[in-house]
Chains A and B, each alone.
Chain A
Amino acid sequence: MITLKYFASLKSIAEKEEDHLDIENPITLDQLSDIISKTTPKMGEMIREKKVLISINQEMASVDTVIHDGDEVAFLPPFSGGAK
């Protein structure tokens, strides 16, 4: 089982703060976005279009990151940043 976490503005888009997903084998981020698209199309679209940052176990993920059973996947809107 993997844990999915949504933060800030993404909570209202996903309509949840946390979710759990059973996976039989390791999956890619693309595969995960396909799964999420089935229940939350807008969220899946934002992942595919790289409008959100993704971390796996509190480390930023890259396109080729593979998700394993037990991982915590977090969807992070761009950080608040701020002017200099």
Chain B
Amino acid sequence: MSTTTDSKIRIQLEDFSVTDEIEAMKKVSRNIGGITTFLGTGRELSKGENISQLNFEHYPKMAEKKLAEIREKSIKDFGIIDMSIIHRIGPIEIGENIVLIVAAGEHRGETFKACEWAIAELKRTTPIWKRETTTKGEVWVQATP
């Protein structure tokens, strides 16, 4: 698990600052003219159930590897300048930050596309699982394989 703040790919227990991450990205290049961010946060209601807490588990090494592949492919395929991806693990309260993607490019068009693709790909390919605690107990959230 990486917790270094200068890495563009991080999976960490600690919260992160969206502002700090955007400011760090702006320092990457003077050619950045547009930055798109996606921030995923803890939602209280899921499938009609009230959630009191979320808990994320990941497969160390493989999860980092998949996020690195998503970043590299985003830069190559969409022509953006850079991307950072941060995902939290462990217990997360309602309203807290879960995942952040920051896509920076010369123009906004490619950053919107890269950001949307990256979050969809993250959810499709990255071994990270969510456990929801509701009034009925704890349940692992699963998509259909």
Interface residues of A (CB under 8 A from B): 5, 7-9, 50-53, 55, 58, 74, 76-82, 84
Contacts and interface: CB of A to CB of B under 8 A. Distances in A.
A80 B59 contact: no
A81 B65 CA distance: 18
B123 A78 contact: no
Closest 9 CB pairs of A and B: A81-B143, A8-B129, A58-B62, A80-B130, A9-B140, A78-B145, A78-B142, A80-B141, A78-B143
Interface in B108-132: 120, 123-131
B135 interface: no
Contacts of B141: 80-81
Given A77-B142, A78-B143, A80-B143, A55 B126 contact: no
Contacts of B145: 50-53, 78
A7 B143 contact: no
B72 interface: no
Nearest to B58: A7
Contacts of B40: 82
Contacts of A52: 145
Contacts of A8: 57, 129, 131, 140
A12 to B, nearest CB: 9
Contacts of B59: 5, 7, 55, 58, 74, 76
B129 to A, nearest CB: 4
B27 interface: no
B61 interface: yes
B7 interface: no
